[in-house]
Amino acid sequence: MKDQKVAELREKSVPELEEMVRQERAALYKARRDLVFRKITDTASLKVRRHNIARMLGIITEKKGGNA
pLDDT of residue 36: 92
C-alpha span between 23 and 31 (Å, rounded): 12
Q: Round the average pLDDT of the chain to a whole number and report it.
A: 90
* Residues near 62 by beta carbon (within 8 Å), at least 6 away in sequence: none
pLDDT of residue 68: 56
Q: How confident is the model over 38-42, as a mean pLDDT?
A: 87
| DSSP letter (8 states) at residue 5 | P
What pLDDT band is residue 2 in, cutting at 50, 70 and 90? low
User: Looking at this protein, which amino acid is placed at residue 57?
Assistant: L
